[in-house]
Structure 1
Amino acid sequence: MNLSEITLQEIIHAHKRIKPYIRHTPLEYSENFSRIYKSDIHLKLENLQVTGSFKSRGSLNRLLTLNEKERKRGIIAPSAGNHGIGLAYAASKLSVPAHVFLPKDADPGKVQALEGYGAELTFFDSIEEARITALSVAKEKGYIFLSAYNDPAVISAGGTVALEILDDLADVDTVITCMGGGGLTAGMCLALKSVNPKIEVWGVQCKNSPTLAVWYKNGQGTPVKLHPSIAEGLSGPIDPETITFPIIQKHIDRILTVTEEQIIDAIKNMLAVQYIVEPSGAAGVAALTQCGEELSGRKVAIVVTGRNISWSRLNSLVGDTHTVIQ
């Protein structure tokens, strides 16, 4: 599959492929956020997805498009956690050998989940070292390399989240989703704009790692200074040749960046309504503090992308301070 084949029809086919293995996650109306921001705000709860994040969609779609010979060779991926968990889950369901390369500081809760699905794990000093080594090993051993975002099958699977939103809220007019490498956002842009070009798509990145936001502002890929972020799933270098950027550049309506403090407040707000959300998964909710007033009168869906965080790390982030929801 190439870039030109990522169409609405292919996204629909992807949804049919992966449907037996995933959940159609709830799109839950938020009384609190809707009241505060004078709008109809709904939360697309991919934190309730199998494996605890949307990432299983992309891995399943990629593995289900492999032939038998490719499946036997096995698949390899670098990951900060959720991509690897999604891959390990998909591989376990389809009996495909899975190799996941991780940074040494990966969240212990994510490592435990990976171990539970039986993936072979190897640790490195950084996610970039894991990525470079995974590419080398894939070439040497003949494994299929699976990018977390720079893959047409992964992008198509990202669009399946949009299909479910449209099923549950056909008259949605604004969709907010977080972005790391942009696989989810690119797929959602293609699906939403194909169905209704008037639907606005707003992407959210962390201010410490704003690569796509800077590229979008500059109109091209440019060097971006990166800083560590608690939202590791949205952080780190992005392949300069990624096919996600041209899609996002063409279709997205706006890109916002959020601070570490705003992300922590969003985690607290979600805890206040009984949902555990990891930092990367909370970025869309975090954006409400800076764009909420502009949503007045709109029907909004915010994608909450994941919940995979250890209790010790969650406690270290939120402590015993009060939540900030009104």
Structure 2
Amino acid sequence: MNHTTITLQEIIQAHQRIKNYIRHTPLEYNVEFSRLYGAEVYLKLENLQVTGSFKPRGSFNKLLALSHTERKRGVIAPSAGNHGIGLAYAANQLKVPAHVYLPNEADPSKINALESYGAAITFFESIADARLAAVKDAQEKGYTFLSAYNDRSVVAAGGTVELEILDDLSDVEVVITCLGGGGLTPGICVALKSINPKLEVWGVQTKNSPTFAVWFQHAKTVPVNLKPSIAEGLSGPIEHHTMTFPIIQEHIDRIITVTDEEIMEAMTTMPNYQYIIEPSGAAGLASLKQNGGELKGRKAAIVVTGRNISWTRFSSFISNRVSYAKQ
């Protein structure tokens, strides 16, 4: 088997392995979006997952497959927040020591969550520095390193989100999902396309960090100019050798990029539906502004991937959105 290949069977096995540790999150029909775009629009609410994002799926799938010796040594991960939180939660539940390396600018709410789950936290100047240090310490200290995306267990677990969507809406036609390094979207692609190749997957990246969009356009890995984004979970450099790109390249139907302003608008409208979501979790919703018309007459599921944001930061986005509106 090609090392980049993830099979439907692996995704089904991942679901069986983790289902007692996670929530089957709601797939909620949204009246307003459906009316606005002439479609049936559903929200897959992974913001209601344990720890507030989809990330524990991959962490549990990885940790449950480790040997007793590997669990005893502990696990390590660099993270902008949610990946580390998911790992810390899973490690806490399974009594595995967890080390999480964060950038200095990590959201305070995410730091608090990590501390509550008992993770050992170390801060670095940037997420790139955190990753280099985590790789080094994994090699030198015997920890199991867990990438947020470049890992078979994580990719397979991402596909369990799609299994739940199909359980709840078997005739879904389009799935729209946030796309960072690929810890979620490739698994969704494989699960959906294995069951019905005619169904569509749209991945959404930020215009400031459009790595996969550029690679997909060029049909190969090339240098990409990256800028900071409010959606830190979808931002930053991606290794050119990541297993996720060949899967995306083969299976995804389109990759859309959205601006920080569009993300801000999407996330600050969600309290109208009783939900707080973080910028990275709002990218799929943000794509509707430019692409929602293409859903007319179709059934679409949008994955809302996370809610972990401090109230102070969320409030600042609301203020900024008001400022943008006045310009």
Q: TM-score, normalised by structure 1?
A: 0.97
CA contact (8 A) 1:2 1:152 kept: no
CA distance in 1, matches of 2:120, 2:10: 31
Q: Deviation digits for residues 124-171 of structure 1, max 9, x if unmatched?
A: 000000000100010010110000000000000000000000000000
CA contact (8 A) 2:52 2:306 kept: yes
Alpha-carbon distance, 1:321 to partner? 6.0
**Counterpart of 1:244?**
244
Alpha-carbon distance, 1:319 to partner? 2.4
Alpha-carbon distance, 1:79 to partner? 0.1
CA distance in 1, matches of 2:174, 2:236: 27
CA contact (8 A) 2:4 2:244 kept: no
Q: Deviation digits for residues 43-75 of structure 1, max 9, x if unmatched?
A: 000000000000010000000111111111110
CA distance in 1, matches of 2:185, 2:6: 13
Q: Deviation digits for residues 51-105 of structure 1, max 9, x if unmatched?
A: 0000010000000111111111110000000000000000001111100000010
**Counterpart of 1:121?**
121
Shifted more, 128-137 versus 269-278: the winner is 269-278
Give the 3-state SS of the residue equivalent to 2:24 in structure 1: coil
**Counterpart of 1:83?**
83
1:320–1:78 CA distance, 2 compared to 1 (3 A): closer
CA contact (8 A) 2:268 2:318 kept: yes
**Counterpart of 1:103?**
103
CA distance in 1, matches of 2:2, 2:87: 21
Is there any run of 5+ residues in structure 2 with no aligned partner, and where? none
2:24 partner amino acid: H
Alpha-carbon distance, 1:320 to partner? 8.5
Give the 3-state SS of the residue equivalent to 2:11 in structure 1: helix
- Superposition CA RMSD, Å: 1.5
Alpha-carbon distance, 1:6 to partner? 2.1
CA contact (8 A) 1:78 1:127 kept: yes
CA distance in 1, matches of 2:5, 2:294: 35
Alpha-carbon distance, 1:3 to partner? 3.1
**Counterpart of 2:31?**
31
- The 5 Å alignment of 1:12-23 reads 12-23=12-23
Give the 3-state SS of the residue equivalent to 2:313 in structure 1: helix
**Counterpart of 2:174?**
174
2:278 partner amino acid: E
1:216 partner amino acid: F
Is there any run of 5+ residues in structure 1 with no aligned partner, and where? none
CA distance in 1, matches of 2:162, 2:230: 26
**Counterpart of 2:136?**
136
- The 5 Å alignment of 1:194-209 reads 194-209=194-209
**Counterpart of 1:153?**
153
1:287–1:89 CA distance, 2 compared to 1 (3 A): same
Alpha-carbon distance, 1:2 to partner? 7.2
**Counterpart of 2:268?**
268
1:296 partner amino acid: K
1:254–1:85 CA distance, 2 compared to 1 (3 A): same
CA contact (8 A) 1:149 1:183 kept: yes
1:219 partner amino acid: A
**Counterpart of 1:282?**
282
2:273 partner amino acid: V
Matched, 1:41 2:41: yes
CA distance in 1, matches of 2:183, 2:199: 19
Q: What fraction of aligned residue pairs are identical, expressed as a percent?
A: 68
- The 5 Å alignment of 1:306-325 reads 306-319=306-319
**Counterpart of 1:68?**
68
Q: Deviation digits for residues 205-256 of structure 1, max 9, x if unmatched?
A: 0000000010000000000000000000000000110000000000000000
CA contact (8 A) 2:265 2:321 kept: no
Shifted more, 268-277 versus 290-299: the winner is 268-277
Q: TM-score, normalised by structure 2?
A: 0.97
CA distance in 2, matches of 1:102, 1:80: 6
**Counterpart of 2:256?**
256
**Paired positions, count:** 324
CA distance in 2, matches of 1:2, 1:207: 31
2:17 partner amino acid: R
